[in-house]
Each structure stands twice: as structure tokens, then as C-alpha cells.
């Protein structure tokens, strides 16, 4: 009997401890999911419905009570207007995608992630740094919250013609990793005949015939250390910050369109009569390097197919290669962090959603490795998750973009399309003779008018966090 009690008493204690732990987890964990039938409406840019059905299949198979209505949009201006109008009327989708730069200004239009689904620190540990900077911000009480989930983080990189480099720069075979080196590449790659450009080194320096003029300049501004706003986004600073670093960035950009420079490569007359501008010139072998995001690869190949079907002479598909965005300092020697401008869409949950619990459950799934593996297979867009970078960076074309996701940076804007337009206009003004300082100051003044008196970022409630950490 005594031996039996010796056995029984420890078992009772173990059972009691186990029950207590389960009760603690139940108490602290998320509430039971309501399994009544729900229809969740998702609005998104660019991704086809078939693609998204594949991405969501794993979730919907496990949640048969959830039905998803998916709508794809192609024109961002119309898309944003529709969403804002619907939100103002108390309607709209449950989930919608918006640019990463949109969330700080518009966080009141979305519901933050419930605390039961994860903390800001969890979010930082899962996603690359630019995501935390863009999608973590304080609510009106000064408490940090998660406002969106991205499936990818894209950035600018170089697309180059490998044959041109093997022919004219055989000792290198690829673009330089620095801007000074790119200038040298351009000088070697340039071909002229009777004063006319036959082959340009790089499509850069102008507006109308470059695919991403504003984005290239943003990249240069970030690399030059430009500070765009004060800490609470109350004051625009970018034209004057860091000893007018933005002026240096502008000067570097337009120098490639300045005939007085040895590295002059591109002007406003080149490729203007081409449907796809610099992309068409690249396909015809008339320019050696162009800048683009990962999505540009499919566009290049689709335009190549169209041109080939019309009997036009185009470069071989296998000579299209990618290289990292050039840096101010040589990445192989410098201890400084590399910088590149990151741009992507993130999903948020509408403040009007009647199914915000399920909507956020869907978003946490979209942020999972399972969903992101499918998404990369379907779209080739580089992952936003830290733990998936190592595998995806091995891709021969898209690995460059994946690698850059880890050190991408961005900044919030008051109006996504308007800011791009103003920056492009500033470039045009400089090409017409205005000083970079005046052109950028003009943009800054226009941006400042749009910023509310108290700024867009609520200061962190330090007392709340001191009390929380002290518990």
C-alpha cells in the first residue's frame, strides 16, 4: 500500500501541475474562433485571382466556414479612391493592400493586430527591418501596434545586358557595385556614331523615358543620408537635412543626362518613341543597363515576346541578368550598411470589417512560410520574412532582390502618387535649369502644407512601457 501511495501521490501532483499549465495557456491564449460562416472580401493590386487562390488554399482547407471574395485592381489611383470612398461610407473590403508608405498617415483607417496574435517584438523578429519601420507605429494612446502584413519586400536593382559587358568589359563581366564604378562602366559601354548615341550605358538622369525616375532618386537620397521628417512626422526636412544631402543625390541622378559629363549616357530624346521607353531600348540592345523592381523581369520578357512576334530584332532572353543596386561605398571594402529603397504592398484589416478576427487570422496565415513559399513560386516576389531569405537568395535572377530585402529602407509619404509626381517634376525643373536646392525646396514646401499640425506619429507612451517592463 505504501509503495502504491508513493507512486500515486507524485502522479496526482504531476497531473495537477499539467492541468494548471493548460489553464494558464488557455487563459492567456486567443479566444475560441467563431466558426459561423463568414465571407471575407479582399482587395489587392496586381496579383491575379488564380494566384491568390493558390496562396490561400492551405488556409481555406482548414477553415471551411470561411469564404473569400477576391478582387484584383490594376490602376492604383482608382483603387485608392474606391477604398477611401467605401471606408468613408462605412463599407469596403475586410482586407486590402496598400503601399508600405501609406500606413503611418492612414493607420486610423485600419484595425491593428490583436495582442493575442503576437507582439511588436514578435513582428520584428519575423520580418525584415524595413517592415517593422513601416508597419509598426503608435496608436492614439501611444501604444505600439502592428498595422499590416506584407508578403514581399521589393527594391530597385540593375537589369543588364551580359553580352555588352562581356564584349566591352570582359575583365569584369558585370556592373560595378559603386556609383563611381557605374560611371566608369558607362564610359566603356557607350557607343556613338556621328555625335549620336547608338548604345547608351545606363537609362538614368531624365524622367519621361526612364521607368522609375523618382524611385532611383529616392534610393540616392537614402544612400546620401537624407532625413525626410522629424521623429513625429510633423516637419518635412528632406531638402535641407544632413548638409543638403538631397542636393548631392539630385546632382548625381541628373549627371547621367548632362552632356558635359564624361559619363553622360542618356537624354530626353532617347527611346521616347518606344512604347516601353527604356525597356524597349534595352530589348533592342540600345542601352546596357536599366533599373527596375523584381516584377520588371516578367515585363521585359513579355515585351520581348511581343517584339519578336512582330519580327523585330531583340536581345536573347538569356543575356538579361540582374545586379545589386550600386552603393556610394564599395560593399566589399566598406563596413557601412548598404542602402536601397524598398517598396511593397502590405495588407491591412479595415476598421469597418465585421469579421476582423477572421481577417487578421487570414493575414497571419499570409505571413506564414507556407503561404509565402507558394507566393514566391507564383510571383517571384522576394520574401519579407527573415527565415526565408537564405533559400530564395539563391535564385539566379531574383536572388539579388531577395538579398536586398534585408537592408532595404523606405519613408512615409503624405500622398503616394502626388509625391512621386512632385519629385519627377523637380527632376524636370533641374534639367530645365533650376538649381537642385530650389527644386527640392519647392517639393518640401508642398509636402509641409499637407502635414497636420500635430504630425502623423503619436509619441510613444513611455510611462506605459516602463510600467509594463516593471511587471
Q: What is the full per-residue pLDDT of the chain (471 aa) written as tens digits?
A: 444 444 444 444 434 434 333 333 334 555 566 678 899 999 999 999 999 999 999 999 999 999 999 999 999 999 999 999 999 999 999 999 999 999 988 999 999 999 999 999 999 999 999 999 999 998 888 899 999 999 999 999 999 999 999 999 999 999 999 999 999 999 999 998 877 889 999 999 999 999 999 999 999 999 999 999 999 999 999 998 888 999 999 999 999 999 999 999 999 888 877 777 899 999 999 999 999 999 999 999 999 999 999 998 999 999 999 999 999 999 989 888 999 999 999 999 999 999 999 999 999 999 999 999 999 999 999 999 999 999 999 999 999 999 999 999 999 988 889 999 999 999 999 999 999 999 999 999 999 999 999 888 878 666 655 565 555
Helix (H) or strand (E) segment spanning residue 434? none
**Percentages (nearest 5) of helix, strand, coil residues in the chain:** 50, 15, 35
**DSSP letters spanning 311-356:** T-----GGGEEEEPPPBSS-TTT--SPP-EEEE-EEEEEETT-TTH
**Are 153 and 99 a contacting pair, CB within 8 Å?**
no
What's the predicted TM-score (pTM) here? Answer: 0.89
Question: What stretch of H or E contains 445?
Answer: helix 436-450
Rounded distance, CA 174 to CA 161, Å? 9
Sorted by where each starts, the structural domains of the chain and their CATH numbers stand as 38-153+344-409 (3.40.190.10), 155-339+413-450 (3.40.190.10)
**Spatial separation of the C-alpha atoms in residues 270 and 277, rounded to whole Å:** 8
Amino acid at each position: 500500500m505504501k509503495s502504491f501511495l508513493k507512486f500515486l501521490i507524485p502522479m496526482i501532483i504531476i497531473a495537477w501541475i499539467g492541468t494548471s499549465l493548460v489553464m494558464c495557456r488557455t487563459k492567456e491564449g486567443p479566444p475560441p474562433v467563431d466558426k459561423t460562416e463568414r465571407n471575407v472580401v479582399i482587395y489587392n493590386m496586381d496579383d491575379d485571382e488564380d494566384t491568390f487562390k493558390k496562396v490561400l488554399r492551405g488556409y481555406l482547407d482548414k477553415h471551411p466556414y470561411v469564404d473569400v471574395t477576391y478582387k484584383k485592381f490594376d490602376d492604383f489611383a482608382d483603387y485608392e479612391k474606391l477604398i477611401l470612398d467605401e471606408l468613408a461610407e462605412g463599407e469596403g473590403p475586410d482586407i486590402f493592400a496598400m503601399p508600405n508608405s501609406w500606413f503611418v498617415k492612414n493607420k486610423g483607417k485600419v484595425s491593428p493586430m490583436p495582442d493575442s496574435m503576437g507582439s511588436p517584438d514578435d513582428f520584428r523578429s519575423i520580418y525584415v527591418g524595413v517592415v517593422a519601420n513601416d508597419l509598426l507605429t503608435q496608436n492614439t494612446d501611444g501604444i505600439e501596434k502592428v498595422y499590416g502584413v506584407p508578403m514581399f519586400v521589393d527594391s530597385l536593382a540593375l537589369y543588364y545586358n551580359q553580352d555588352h559587358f562581356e564584349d566591352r568589359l570582359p575583365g569584369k563581366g558585370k556592373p560595378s557595385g559603386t556609383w563611381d564604378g557605374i560611371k566608369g562602366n558607362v564610359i566603356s559601354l557607350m557607343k556613338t556614331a556621328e555625335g549620336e548615341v547608338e548604345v547608351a550605358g545606363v537609362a538614368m538622369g531624365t524622367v519621361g523615358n526612364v521607368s522609375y525616375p523618382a524611385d532611383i532618386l529616392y534610393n540616392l537620397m537614402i544612400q546620401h543620408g537624407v532625413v525626410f521628417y522629424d521623429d513625429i512626422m510633423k516637419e518635412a526636412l528632406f531638402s535641407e537635412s544632413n548638409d543638403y544631402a538631397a542636393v548631392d543625390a539630385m546632382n548625381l541622378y541628373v549627371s547621367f543626362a548632362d552632356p558635359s559629363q564624361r559619363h553622360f549616357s542618356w537624354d530626353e530624346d532617347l527611346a521616347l518613341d518606344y512604347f516601353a521607353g527604356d525597356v524597349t531600348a534595352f530589348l533592342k540592345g540600345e542601352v546596357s543597363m536599366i533599373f527596375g523592381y523584381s516584377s520588371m523581369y516578367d515585363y521585359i520578357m513579355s515585351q520581348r515576346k511581343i517584339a519578336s512576334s512582330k519580327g523585330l530584332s531583340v536581345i536573347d532572353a538569356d543575356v538579361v541578368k540582374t545586379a545589386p543596386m550600386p552603393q556610394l561605398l564599395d560593399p566589399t571594402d566598406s563596413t557601412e550598411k548598404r542602402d536601397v529603397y524598398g517598396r511593397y504592398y502590405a495588407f491591412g484589416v479595415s476598421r469597418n470589417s465585421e469579421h476582423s478576427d477572421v481577417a487578421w487570422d487570414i493575414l497571419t496565415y499570409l505571413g506564414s512560410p507556407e503561404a509565402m513559399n507558394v507566393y514566391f513560386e507564383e510571383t517571384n516576389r522576394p520574401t519579407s520574412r527573415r527565415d526565408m531569405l537564405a533559400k530564395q537568395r539563391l535564385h539566379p535572377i531574383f536572388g539579388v532582390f531577395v538579398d536586398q530585402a534585408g537592408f532595404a529602407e523606405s519613408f512615409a509619404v503624405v500622398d503616394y502618387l502626388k509625391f512621386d509626381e512632385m519629385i519627377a517634376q523637380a527632376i524636370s525643373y533641374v534639367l530645365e535649369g533650376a538649381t537642385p536646392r530650389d527644386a527640392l525646396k519647392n517639393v518640401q514646401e508642398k509636402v509641409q502644407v499637407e502635414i497636420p499640425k500635430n504630425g502623423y506619429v503619436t509619441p510613444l507612451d513611455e510611462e506605459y512601457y516602463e510600467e509594463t517592463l516593471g511587471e
